[in-house]
Structure 1
Amino acid sequence: MQNELVNNIDGLRKQAEAELARKASNTPPEDFPALPTIPAARYTDPTLYELEMDNIFMKQWLCVGIASELPEIGSYKVWNRLGIPVILVRGKDNTIRAFRNSCRHRGGSVVPGDTGKVGSFRCNFHCWNYDLDGTLKAVPDQYEFPTLDKSKHNLLPIRCEMLGNLIYINFSERAPSLEQHLGKVASELAHFDFEKRSFLKRAEFDMDCNWKLAIDAFAESYHLFWTHKNTVAPMFQSHGQVFRLWPNGHSLMITASQRENRAEWIMDTGSKDPRHELSRTEQVSATIFPNCILPLGEFTFPIFNFWPTSINSTKFEVIMTTPLDIDDSVKAEVDIVLEQLGVITLEDISNMNDMQKSVETGSLTDIQLGCQERRIYQFHEELDRQIGEKSVPENLRIKPVVSTYIDD
């Protein structure tokens, strides 16, 4: 259904009420299957980890920033989450592009530092000079290179596309377009006005666990009452959830709120646009495959990115976004939100570190998921689909069971 979040708010709330009633009567779900177990070795196996790096992070669309981080022509930043230095730059035509930060002569960096503003790119080593569109413009002592064809030595481009003001890159030339990859994400979440989002702040947390284990923790609310008993839990009814599983591994979770306890979150204030009635009163969280989670609100909301730094460590990146041109007083309030997120994240990190030790030591050999954790199972199914089922070690494969529940 097109724009269900806007056009069927009453229906979504009734579904949440039905879930709460199911909890009250201890009734198992009638419309969703029991989920097979997930092999715990998926979080420790080096072969699978390499397959993920090659087939997921090198071939999927990754959210790497926000357009306002590049405010002027020539503004750039170097992105280096996966060990491949990438330049993001606003060109003379105001188009944001991405290039490998590697001079085509002998590989030197072509920008001074990680952020700044330049009129052109210049290699720090031998001063080869490139236009902002990557074209090689000038070579010192070019007569020393009698066979040089400058047109064949432009900076290597990386695919760069936009979801509103969110910057995405993809290292694969064969991947579908960002629009094709997002599918229902773009239409169902359009009312969050991604084209009006602005960068505010970035925070990072180190997690001693596999990146998938970190993603899993943010894909369900089953743990809210027990892990976040005094922080998040009083504001939400964790059993009052509505799920949507979308194609390409994307999904949505709507969690009913405890309205008598819920304070006015900064991410839920601002205009009273009726399109945002649901997110003002419930928690709306979207997963964008492979490594991005969006706890959405009409005013300020974070982008959560999970970057693998090794097989058993993850960099958790929080990018705070706001509408364009916000008041300075709001920026101070966002500091409070970031502080709260820090407290909540530390509560999660303690559990994830312990869980990683369990899978590494063999104390946990397989993982049994419940109905509330269905987004985790869908995520792992999609990982295998993108890698190629026959490429995944047989003992680690996920049995496909949720495909008939995808809302396409």
Structure 2
Amino acid sequence: MDHATQVRIIQELLEFEEQRTTDMDGQESEHYNPVAAYTDPDRLTAELDRIWYRRPLAVGHVAEFPEAGSFKTLRVGKVPILVVRGKDDRIRAFVNVCRHRGTILVEGECGRANAFACPYHAWTFGQDGGLRHVPDDFGFPDVAADKGRFGLRELWSQVHAGFVYVQADGNTPEQQLVDWLDEVGRDLQDLALDDYAALEPSTVRHPVNWKLPFDIFLENYHTKFTHRSTIYPVFLSNVGKFDAFGPHIRCVLPRREITELRHIDESKWDLVEQSTLLYVVWPNTMIAVLPEHAAVWHVYPDGVEHSTMNFYALIARRLYESEAEKEKWQKSLKVVKKVKREDAERFLSIQQGLNSGAHPALTFGRYEKAIAWFHQSIETALADPAAPATAEPAAEASAH
């Protein structure tokens, strides 16, 4: 993010703080989101078909693949995916299914392997996806004669600003990745997260619809109440700035000390030092950027009322390699973990409330505009899967 943009955002935040308001939706009323958006199995089927399989998804960071053979696995709907760094240093993605009899090839979540042997019959594939060995291959003369035709199915993948992107349907995205990411991609590039170290990886399956973690993430109205003893003392209450770039989102949550910038020359203003930048790389990734730290969540639907959350922290190499700095960043990660637990308690509770049938819709206030935008972007994709990703979101459906 260039300095002029940082100054503009800080000026707006200072004005919000002075006027005791925040970034508000231009509409005069709140938004209503149908509960069915979180509970309808047919809705999830449409989301998978029209969004999840057809868009580039951020699925990891290069630091998770430090050497040849480093891999991670994930699942997008019905598609199991294996992501691995090859001996040529390129990171590739494959459908994680053996070409022999369709067994899931790699069952572990992450690790390192020189090659991948199927647990069923030990057909073995290289880091580049090529078929390397078939036991007793005299029974498969065509395969033995042309192993090149029987490699793993490769998916489109690309690295940008340190993050690995994959498209689950195997097709090349309709837009160039840099165009798809728009200003969010440029921000991530400017933040230089590509040289950070990855720490504290975890994968958790929650009994919640995949959209609920985003609903929690995209507003700080709840900070005073849900995070009273963790991060509320650090941030201005219910003050933030929202920008959208196509379906992608940037929210800025200012720290209390940002008000001190009124007495400092604008040339020395630094938005990252005085706030947390929250990014949604639509539809599945949340990135919280702090000074020399970042917290990353990749979320995947795992049934209409279940989702899988893959989390890791990113730490600047300067901190990671310094014993003197270790205590500081470890303390920061402890806070992040506690905030994660507090948020999880909320979205687990919300899913129970939705399942009760108590209400037909959820209410998003005018200063919860980032959540409304997120859901409107989904509606746009569901209504017209052929529409360009940067199209203006369609008007919300009434739930009254």
- In which range does the TM-score fall when normalised by the shorter chain? 0.7 to 0.9
CA distance in structure 2 between the partners assigned to 1:260 and 1:211 by the alignment:
33
TM-fit CA distance, 1:338: 3.1
- Counterpart position of 1:318: 311
CA distance in structure 2 between the partners assigned to 1:244 and 1:372 by the alignment:
12
SS in 2 for 1:94: coil
TM-fit CA distance, 1:295: 1.1
SS in 2 for 1:104: coil
TM-fit CA distance, 1:81: 6.5
Q: Tell me if the contact between 1:36 and 1:399 (Cα under 8 Å) persists in the aligned partners.
A: no
Q: Tell me if the contact between 2:52 and 2:76 (Cα under 8 Å) persists in the aligned partners.
A: no
Q: TM-score, normalised by structure 1?
A: 0.82
Q: Are positions 1:294 and 2:293 aligned together?
A: no
Q: Tell me if the contact between 2:75 and 2:81 (Cα under 8 Å) persists in the aligned partners.
A: yes
TM-fit CA distance, 1:193: 0.4
Q: Tell me if the contact between 1:100 and 1:158 (Cα under 8 Å) persists in the aligned partners.
A: yes
Q: Tell me if the contact between 1:243 and 1:254 (Cα under 8 Å) persists in the aligned partners.
A: yes
The 1:399/1:318 distance shift into structure 2, 3 A limit, reads same
Say which is worse superposed, 153-162 or 320-329, in terms of deviation: 320-329
Q: Tell me if the contact between 1:164 and 1:193 (Cα under 8 Å) persists in the aligned partners.
A: yes
- Counterpart position of 1:394: none
Q: Tell me if the contact between 2:275 and 2:290 (Cα under 8 Å) persists in the aligned partners.
A: no
SS in 1 for 2:346: helix
The 1:307/1:138 distance shift into structure 2, 3 A limit, reads closer
SS in 1 for 2:156: strand
1:18-29 aligned within 5 A: 18-23=15-20
- Counterpart position of 1:351: 346
Q: TM-score, normalised by structure 2?
A: 0.83
Q: Are positions 1:135 and 2:130 aligned together?
A: yes
Q: Are positions 1:308 and 2:301 aligned together?
A: yes
Identical aligned residues as a percent: 24
CA distance in structure 2 between the partners assigned to 1:109 and 1:359 by the alignment:
34
- Counterpart position of 2:202: 203
Q: Are positions 1:242 and 2:248 aligned together?
A: no
TM-fit CA distance, 1:374: 0.8
CA distance in structure 2 between the partners assigned to 1:97 and 1:66 by the alignment:
13
The 1:276/1:91 distance shift into structure 2, 3 A limit, reads farther
Gap regions ≥5 residues in structure 2: 261-266, 387-392
SS in 2 for 1:240: coil
SS in 1 for 2:334: helix
SS in 2 for 1:277: coil
- Counterpart position of 2:390: none
CA distance in structure 1 between the partners assigned to 2:342 and 2:199 by the alignment:
24
TM-fit CA distance, 1:372: 1.4
Say which is worse superposed, 30-39 or 334-343, in terms of deviation: 30-39
CA distance in structure 2 between the partners assigned to 1:31 and 1:58 by the alignment:
33
Q: Tell me if the contact between 2:99 and 2:151 (Cα under 8 Å) persists in the aligned partners.
A: yes
CA distance in structure 1 between the partners assigned to 2:332 and 2:354 by the alignment:
33
SS in 1 for 2:99: coil
TM-fit CA distance, 1:122: 3.3
1:384-403 aligned within 5 A: 384-389=379-384, 399-400=394-395
- Counterpart position of 1:69: 64
Gap regions ≥5 residues in structure 1: 263-273, 392-397, 402-408
Q: Tell me if the contact between 1:163 and 1:194 (Cα under 8 Å) persists in the aligned partners.
A: no
TM-fit CA distance, 1:35: 4.3
CA distance in structure 1 between the partners assigned to 2:269 and 2:53 by the alignment:
35
TM-fit CA distance, 1:138: 4.0
Say which is worse superposed, 126-135 or 92-101, in terms of deviation: 126-135
- Counterpart position of 1:15: 12
The 1:235/1:99 distance shift into structure 2, 3 A limit, reads same
- Counterpart position of 1:252: 250
Q: Tell me if the contact between 1:61 and 1:169 (Cα under 8 Å) persists in the aligned partners.
A: yes
Matched residue count: 378
SS in 2 for 1:239: coil
Query: RMSD of the alignment, in Å?
Result: 3.1
Q: Tell me if the contact between 2:23 and 2:367 (Cα under 8 Å) persists in the aligned partners.
A: no
- Counterpart position of 1:327: 321
- Counterpart position of 1:268: none
- Counterpart position of 1:51: 46
Say which is worse superposed, 72-81 or 339-348, in terms of deviation: 72-81
Counterpart residue type for residue 254 of structure 1: V
Write out per-residue CA displacement over residues 330-386 of structure 1, whole angstroms, 9 at most, x where no aligned residue: 455444333322322333233323322332222121222222111111111111222
The 1:76/1:344 distance shift into structure 2, 3 A limit, reads closer
Q: Tell me if the contact between 1:306 and 1:316 (Cα under 8 Å) persists in the aligned partners.
A: yes
TM-fit CA distance, 1:48: 0.6
CA distance in structure 2 between the partners assigned to 1:276 and 1:291 by the alignment:
31
TM-fit CA distance, 1:49: 1.5
CA distance in structure 2 between the partners assigned to 1:354 and 1:75 by the alignment:
37
Q: Tell me if the contact between 1:240 and 1:256 (Cα under 8 Å) persists in the aligned partners.
A: yes
- Counterpart position of 1:339: 334
